[in-house]
Structure 1
Amino acid sequence: MSKTPFGLSHLADRCTSLRQLSQVHAQMLVTARIPSDNYAASRLLSFYATNGHLPLALSLFSLTPSPNSFFFNTLIRASSSSASSAFALYSRMLRSAVSPGKHTFPFLLKASANLGSPSLSKQIHDHVIKYGLELDRYVTNGLTHSYACSGMVVDARKVFDGTTERNSMIWTTMVSGYARNGLADEAIGLFEEMVGLGVELCGATMASVLSACARSGGLETGRRVHGIVKEKGVEVGVILGTALVDMYAKNGAIFEAREVFVGMPERNVATWNAMICGLAHHGHSEGAVCLFRELERLVKSTRRSVSE
Structure 2
Amino acid sequence: MLKLKLKLRKQHRFSRSSHENLPFFRLASTAATMADSDALAPKSTSQTSPFSRPLEPRHVISALLLSRSVSQVKEIYAKVVVNGMLQNVTIANKLLYIYAQHKAVGDDYALFRSVEESDSVTWSVILGGFSKVGDFVGLFGIFRMLIQNGVRPDNYTLPFVIRVCRDMVNFVNGKIVHGIVVKYGLEFNRFVGSALVDMYAKCGVIEGARKLFDEMPRRDLVTWTVMIRAYTECGNAYESLGLFDLMMEERVILDKFATVTVISACAKLGAMNKARLVHDYVRRKKFPLDVVLGTAMIDMYLKCGCIDSARDVFVGMVERNVVSWSTMIAAYGHHGRGREAIDEFYMMLRSGTLPNAITFVSLLYACSHAGLIEEGLRFFSSMWEEYSVRPDVRHYTCMVDLLGRAGRVDEAFGLVESMTVEKDEGLWCALLGACRIHGHVEMAEKVANSLLQLQPHYAGYYVLLSNVYARAGRWEDVAKIRNLLARSRLKKFPGWTWIEVDNKIYQFSSGDETHPRSKEIYGMLKNLNERLVWAGYVPDTSFVLQDVDEEGKVRRLSAHSEKLAIAFALVATPDETPIRLTKNLRVCGDCHTFSKFVSAITQRVIVLRDANRFHCFKEGVCSCGDYW
Name the aligned partner's letter for residue 77 of structure 2. Answer: H
Distance 1:292 1:121, change over 3 A: farther
Equivalent-residue separation in structure 1 for 2:229 and 2:267 (angstroms): 13
Q: CA deviation at 1:89?
A: 3.1
Of 158, 169, 182, 1:129 maps to 182
* 1:266-281 equivalent positions in 2, closer than 5 A: 266-267=319-320, 270-281=323-334
- Tell me which moved more, 83-92 or 173-182: 83-92
- The correspondence for 1:14, drawn from 43, 62, 68, is 62
TM-score (normalizing by structure 2):
0.44
* Structure-1 residue corresponding to 2:426: none
Contact 2:99 2:107 in 1 (8 A): no
Aligned 1:165-244 pairs, distance under 5 A: 165-244=218-297
User: Which residue does 1:160 correspond to in 2?
Assistant: 213
Aligned residue identity for 2:128: R
Which digits, 9 at most, give the CA deviation of each residue in 1:223-244, with x for residues without a partner? Answer: 1101111112234443322221
Deviation at 1:96, TM superposition (A): 4.2
37-46 or 244-253, which moves further after superposition? Answer: 37-46
Pick aligned residue for 1:36 from 54, 67, 87: 87
Amino acid across the alignment from 2:102: H
Shift of 1:102: 1.2
Residue 46 (str. 1) matches residue 87 (str. 2): no
When residues 172 and 37 of structure 1 are mapped into structure 2, their CA distance, relative to the original with a 3 A threshold, is same
Matched, 1:24 2:76: yes
Aligned residues: 296
Tell me whether 1:73 sits opposite 2:124 in the alignment: yes
Contact 2:321 2:353 in 1 (8 A): no
Tell me how far 1:159 sits from its aligned partner.
Answer: 0.8
The CA distance in 2 between the partners of 1:268 and 1:136, in whole Å, is 40
Task: Provide the rounded CA distance (Å) in 2 between the counterparts of 1:261 and 1:155.
Answer: 39
Distance (Å, rounded) in 2 between the aligned partners of 1:143 and 1:100? 15
Counterpart residue number, 1:60: 108
Name the CA shift for 1:45/1:186 in 2 (closer, same or farther; >3 Å).
same
Q: Which amino acid aligns with 2:160?
A: F
Question: In the TM superposition, what whole-angstrom CA distance separates every residue of 1:131-162 from its partner, at most 9, and x where no partner exists?
Answer: 22111111111111111111111111111111
Structure 2 distance, partners of 1:237, 1:278, is: 18
Which structure has the highest strand share of the two? 2
How far apart are residue 113 of structure 1 and its match?
Answer: 2.0
Find the residue that maps to 1:298 and give its secondary structure: coil
CA distance in 1, matches of 2:131, 2:250: 34
In the aligned structure 2, how far is the partner of 1:242 from the partner of 1:75? 39
Q: Which has the higher helix share?
A: 1
SS at match of 1:221: helix
Cα distance in 2 for partners of 1:110, 1:267 equals 33
> In percent, how many aligned pairs have the same letter?
32
Shift of 1:255: 2.0
Distance of 2:354 and 2:60 partners within structure 1: 44
- Greater relative contact order (CA < 8 Å, ≥ 6 in sequence): 1
Q: Distance in 2 between matches of 1:128 and 1:268?
A: 44
Q: Call closer, same or farther: CA 1:255–1:148 in 2, change over 3 Å.
A: same
Kindly provide the CA deviation profile for residues 9-49 of structure 1, in whole angstroms up to 9, marking residues without a partner as x.
221232331147554223235x2847423322212222343
Is the partner of 2:186 in helix, strand or coil? coil
2:254 aligned counterpart, secondary structure: coil
How many angstroms apart in 1 are the aligned matches of 2:324 and 2:138?
Answer: 34
Structure 2 residue 51 is the aligned partner of structure 1 residue 2:
yes
Residue 285, structure 1, aligned to residue 338, structure 2? yes
Contact 1:8 1:24 in 2 (8 A): no
Q: What CA distance in whole angstroms lies between the structure 1 residues aligned with 2:131 and 2:60?
A: 26
CA distance in structure 1 between the aligned counterparts of 2:62 and 2:309, rounded to whole angstroms: 52
Which residue pairs with 1:147 in the alignment?
Answer: 200
Which shifted more, 255-264 or 160-169? 255-264
CA contact (8 A) 2:322 2:354 kept: no
1: distance between equivalents of 2:140 and 2:343?
A: 49
Indicate conservation of the 8 Å contact 2:294/2:317, yes or no: yes
Instruction: Give 5+ residue unaligned stretches, structure 1.
Output: 301-308
Alignment RMSD (CA, Å): 2.8
Distance 2:334 2:95 in 1: 54
